[in-house]
Structure 1
Amino acid sequence: RGEIMGVVRPSLTVLLPSSEEQDQGNVALVCLANRGFPEGALVSWEVDGLEVSQGVVTSPEEEKEGLYRRSSTLTLSKAGWEQGELYTCRVSHFQHTQASPFHRSQCLV
């Protein structure tokens, strides 16, 4: 018999660019939504409070051990990266939204 499982919110992790990457042509920000249930997590990006879609690639959801994960990458030119200050990855999953904001200055060494 099957188990009935409630909604499990995915964990949210943002991978920030290294200082070496920031010195090169493009900067990639990666957001991971991991171990949610059921499927249906939506990932979006904001720069300085405005939603962006250009340069965003989001993977299909993958199932592992009955839970779902997906990743989203925001790729910016070095100039575009330097224009923004507040970057936010937002994951909406059913009626719950999680956000992981960070400041570009946090990435400067």
Structure 2
Amino acid sequence: MQQGKATLMWLANKGFPSDWSLSWKMDDSSSSSSSWEQNETYQDGLYSWSSTLRLPADQWRKVGSVTCEATKGSQTAVTQTLTRDQCSQS
């Protein structure tokens, strides 16, 4: 928590090909109302992605879990879920 916002980051390193997409879900629903950004880099023939989700403090306090999902076409998504109590707060 900084400046009244919670910030979560998802990193995916050294993958291929480039057409993976990252998205966020809060309590199993898409995070269309939240602020998030995705970045992609290319080095040594492989791609790396990062996605940062920023939530206002009041919204963060209401969330039970946050899931980041990496998808590529029709392949099964790769997901990671965090509950609020697993995250450090300062």
The one of the two structures with greater contact order (alpha-carbon pairs below 8 A, sep at least 6) is 2
For residues 51-90 of structure 1, what are the structure 2 equivalents within 5 Å? 51-53=30-32, 54-59=34-39, 61-90=40-69
Percent identity over the alignment is: 34
Unmatched 5+ stretches in structure 2: none
More strand by share: 2
Structure-2 separation of matches of 1:107 and 1:101: 11
Cα distance, 1:103–1:39 mapped onto 2, change above 3 Å: same
Q: Which aligned runs of 4 or more in structure 1 are off by greater than 3 angstroms?
A: none
**Equivalent pairs, count:** 87
Give the match's secondary structure for 1:91. strand
Give RMSD over aligned pairs: 1.6
Give the match's secondary structure for 1:63. strand
The corresponding residue for 1:48 is 27
Cα distance, 1:35–1:49 mapped onto 2, change above 3 Å: same
Residue deviations 1:33-54, cap 9 Å, x none? 2111111110000000001133
TM-score where L is the length of structure 1:
0.72
The corresponding residue for 2:80 is 100
Letter in 2 for 1:88: T
The corresponding residue for 2:70 is 91
TM-score where L is the length of structure 2:
0.86
Letter in 1 for 2:60: W
In terms of Rg, which structure is larger? 1
